[in-house]
Chain A
Amino acid sequence: MARKKVNLAWIANDSTRRATFKKRRKGLMKKVSELATLCDVKACVIVYGPQEPQPEVWPSVPEVTRVLARFKSMPEMEQCKKMMNQEGFLRQRVAKQQEQLRKQERENRELETMLLMYQGLAGRSLHSLRIEDATSLAWMVEMKVKAVQERMGLVRAQMASSSQQVVLEAPIEAPAPMAVMKEKTPLEAAMEALQRQNWLMEVMNPNDNLMFGGGEEMVQPYMDHTNNPWLDPCYFPLN
C-alpha cells in the first residue's frame, strides 16, 4: 500500500477520487467488521457515494435498521454525547495538536530554566535575565531548596534514629530536627506529636517494652484529640 501522506482535502481529479473512494470504502467496511467481531459489539456503516442514490451499507440493510432502531430508542442525551461530525473531528485534531505544542513548549521552558540555574550557580551574572526568566528561575530554585532541605532532614533523622534504641515503624516519616517548614498539615503535626510522645514514654519507662497495639486505655496526655481515625494508636502497631 502506497504510504505517501495524503492532503486532507477533496480530491479534484475525478478518476483519482473515484479510485480512492472505492478503495477506502472497502477498507472502512473491513474495519467495522473487524471491530464488531473482535469486541463483540453491534455496529453499522452507511456510505452514500457522491453520485450514488443507493448507499452501500454494513452489515446488511435489515441489520442496519435494527442498529438504527436501537440507537434512536436511546435518550437524546445518550445519542448526542459521543456524536461526531466532520467539523468536530477536524476541530479536535487541531486541539490535540495545540495541546502537544503547549506541552513541548513547557518542557523546553523547564530545560531553559535549568540551564539558567546552572549558569547562576556557576557564579555567572544574572544581569541579562528578563523578568519572566527571573520568575521561572526563582520558582525552580525555591523547589530545589525545599527538596534539599527535606532530604537533609530525612537523612539526619535516619542517622539519629539508628543511634537511639527507638525503632519506628516505616509509615511514620521522621520529623526534621530543625523547624524547616512553618506550616505543617494537621496530619504531619499530629504525627510529630505522636512520635514526641513515643520518645517521651521511652524516657519515662526505659525498661518497659513499649507495645502500642491495643492501647485504648493508655492515656495520651500530649496528643491532641483529633477526629482523625488515622492517628488512633491501634492503627500504628509497634512491635
Chain B
Amino acid sequence: MVRKPSMGRQKIDIKRIESEEARQVCFSKRRAGLFKKANELSILCGAEIGVIVFSPAGKPFSFGHPSVDSIIDRFLFGSPSPTTLPSADPRMPVAREMMVVHEFNQQYTVLTALLETEKRKKAVLEEAVRVKQAGEAALWGANIEELSLGELESLHKSFERLRRDVAMRADQLVIEAAHTRSSSVAAAGSFVPPPPLGVNLGFGRGVEGSMALPPPTFFGYGRGPF
C-alpha cells in the first residue's frame, strides 16, 4: 500500500485562511514549527525567549526559555535573570543548561542511529517476505478474501498443523527450562519434578485451550499480521 504523498510545499498568500478546518490545521502545524524555531534559537545563541500564541479557539500556547513566567516578569518589570552570577560570562548559557541540552541531544542521537538500523533491517525483511510470497509462500501469504473455499480449507489444515508443531516446540522449551532449573536446584539438595508429559500446557491447543502466556504486545498493527 503506497501512502499518497502530501502536496509538498505550496506557495501561499499570507492572508486569513477562510476555511475553519484548514485554519486550525495550519495553526497546529505552524505553532509547532514556531516553537521549534524559538527553542533552537534559545539553544544555539543562548537567547532568552518568550512566545505566546492563542489558538483560533482562544486556548493559550506558550514557550519560554528559561521559562514563560521569567520572560514575562523580565519584560513587564525589568527583573534581570536571577541565575546570572557576577563571575559568569553573560554571553554564555549556564553550565547546567548546556549539560541538559547535551545529555538530551546524546539520547536523541543514539535513538536516531538505532532507528536507522531498524529501518535498514525493515528493508531487508520486506524483501525477504516479498520473495517468499512470490514463491513458496504464495498461498500462505495471499489475501484471504481472494481465496476459494478449497484453498481456504487447505490453508486451514496447514495452519492447524503448524499450530501443533509450534505448541510442541513451546512445550519442549518449557520442559527444558524446568529441567535446567531442577538440575541446578537438585545440586542444592531438593528435587523439583518436571511437569508430566501429556499435560496440556495450554499453549495454543486450539480455541478451547487457553494461552498460557499472554500474547505479545507486538501485533495489532494497522497492517495486520498478514
Contact = CB atoms under 8 A, between A and B. Distances in A.
Interface string A89-107: 1110110011011001111
Most buried by B among A8, A70, A106, A132: A8
Interface string A134-156: 11111111111111110110011
A134 B102 CA distance: 41
A28 B59 CA distance: 21
Contact of B163 (A45, A68, A145, A159): A145
A35 B34 contact: yes
Nearest to A93: B108
B110 to A, nearest CB: 9
What size tier do the contact residues of chain B reach? 35 or more
Nearest to B206: A145
Given A50-B92, A127-B169, A155-B149, 14 more contacts: A8-B105, A31-B34, A35-B53, A43-B51, A43-B53, A55-B75, A68-B76, A89-B35, A89-B39, A94-B107, A120-B162, A136-B216, A138-B203, A148-B156
17 contacts: A6-B44, A8-B43, A9-B43, A38-B14, A39-B23, A41-B27, A45-B51, A47-B47, A71-B72, A84-B63, A87-B104, A90-B39, A94-B108, A100-B111, A111-B126, A141-B159, A151-B152
Interface of B: 12, 14-17, 23-24, 26-27, 30-31, 33-56, 59-68, 71-72, 74-76, 90-93, 97-98, 100-102, 104-105, 107-108, 111-112, 114-115, 118-119, 121-122, 125-126, 128-129, 132, 136-137, 140-141, 144-145, 147, 149, 152-153, 155-156, 158-160, 162-163, 165-167, 169-170, 173-174, 177, 203-204, 207-208, 211, 213, 215-216, 218-219, 221, 223, 225-226
